[in-house]
């Protein structure tokens, strides 16, 4: 498959990045890999919340922020039973139906401890139990300990838990991983920064791999207040509707391989959205128009938009199948088109001095 911007080197980075562990609030491992890669091309800063920022032209007055979050959904240890089993709560939104039987890794102070999520065997369940979704407190993590004392010597209450690392490329252009939401967005940010670092642009570009999105978009709040940009592009996955029983009438037409997804709702500045559309048409970049199913919220976009005196924001989505499960799937053609669209849009803002994104000025 021939891409505009993807190649063996950055796809190797993507695989390493997707293979890291970064439950919300515990993003250090993923942040380190992202920082090491981006620092080859530009200066990188970080903060107390583990936001990572690659900066081009830090002295420029006009600032453009890119944001994709690097945290992933996971669990956290709540209780250790006398049998040595770990009981847990969710850390971010979890598809509970996919949890039983999942291989996991407990991220302890002293290293990673493998385990599996277990439940009562189906053979021993009542007819009622077989037909209902299990609550998380009916499940446990088995780390191979024989009793509570042995388990407590290995893990501690409060240890975060991540789904075991998995990543592979399949078909002609698709990638599967537990953490495409939203390491694929943070990857796009890194690639846009990489390319623009050699383009001689004059505007300031702040590429952010943000933290704690899955528990309330918290990293986007602090990073956008720190940067105080005039424009913010958010990169996050969106629900692909090219699967059975997923209504396009209700959720919009969103296809893997259909190109960059330009979103429409109150979070998306109409002047910026139309600029993205115009650039895509001018540069022959494939894109999809999709209206959000809600009027606002759901991604870092709404938090960035409200930073300080307000930011012109736009959400670009990467179509994603099986979101918040261990087997999310995206298409690299969409990733490539989004990288191209962002690069060309930022270059146009810089070249043509397009600095006014106030919708009322359109009247």
Q: Could you tell me if 338 and 188 are in contact, meaning their C-beta atoms sit under 8 angstroms apart?
A: yes
- Given a contact cutoff of 8 angstroms between Cβ atoms, the answer to whether 27 and 211 are in contact is yes
Is the bond preceding 182 in cis, omega lying within 30 degrees of 0? yes
- CA 247/CA 278 separation, integer angstroms: 28
Annotation says 149 is catalytic: no
CA distance linking residue 193 with residue 200, whole number of Å: 12
Compute the C-alpha angle 100/70/165, nearest 5°: 40
Check 72, 213, 214, 337 and give the catalytic one: 213
Cα–Cα distances in angstroms (integers) from residue 178 to residues 17, 34, 47, 112, in the given order: 12, 17, 26, 17
What is the CA angle 172-244-250, rounded to 5? 115
User: 226, exposed or middle or buried, with CB in 10 Å at 0-12, 13-18, 19+?
Assistant: middle
Q: How many helices and strands in the chain, by DSSP H and E?
A: 10, 17
User: Which residues belong to the active site?
Assistant: 213
């Amino acid at each position: 498959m021939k891409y505009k911007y993807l190649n063996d080197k950055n796809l190797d980075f993507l695989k390493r990045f997707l293979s890291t562990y970064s439950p919300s609030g515990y993003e250090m491992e993923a942040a380190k890999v992202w920082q090491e890669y981006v620092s080859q091309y530009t200066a990188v800063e970080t903060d107390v919340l583990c936001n990572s920022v690659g900066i081009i032209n830090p002295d420029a007055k006009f600032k453009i922020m890119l944001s994709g979050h690097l945290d992933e959904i996971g669990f956290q240890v709540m209780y250790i039973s006398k049998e040595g089993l770990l009981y847990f709560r969710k850390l971010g939104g979890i598809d509970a139906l996919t949890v039983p039987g999942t291989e996991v890794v407990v991220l302890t102070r002293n290293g990673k401890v493998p385990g599996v999520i277990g439940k009562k065997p189906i053979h021993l369940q009542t007819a009622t139990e077989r037909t209902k979704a299990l609550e998380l407190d009916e499940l446990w993590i088995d780390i191979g300990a024989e009793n509570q004392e042995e388990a407590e010597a290995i893990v501690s209450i409060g240890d975060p838990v991540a789904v075991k690392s998995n990543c592979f490329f399949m078909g002609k252009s698709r990638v599967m991983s537990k953490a495409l939401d939203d390491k694929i967005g943070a990857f796009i940010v890194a690639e846009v920064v990489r390319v623009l670092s050699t383009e001689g642009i004059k505007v300031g570009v702040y590429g952010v791999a943000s933290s704690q999105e899955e528990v309330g978009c918290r990293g986007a709040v602090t990073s956008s207040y720190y940067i105080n940009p005039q424009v913010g592009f958010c990169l996050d996955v969106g629900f692909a509707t090219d699967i059975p029983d997923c209504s396009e009438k209700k959720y919009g037409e969103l296809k893997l391989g259909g190109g960059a997804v330009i979103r429409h709702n109150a979070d998306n500045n109409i002047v910026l959205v139309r600029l993205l559309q115009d650039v895509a048409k001018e540069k022959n970049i494939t894109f999809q128009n999709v209206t959000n199913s809600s009027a606002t919220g759901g991604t870092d976009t709404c938090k960035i938009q409200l930073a300080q005196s307000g930011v012109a924001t736009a959400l670009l989505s990467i179509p994603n199948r099986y979101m918040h499960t261990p087997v999310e799937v995206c298409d690299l053609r969409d990733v490539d088109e989004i990288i191209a669209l962002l690069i060309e849009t930022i270059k146009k803002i810089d070249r043509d001095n397009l600095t006014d994104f106030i919708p009322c000025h359109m009247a």
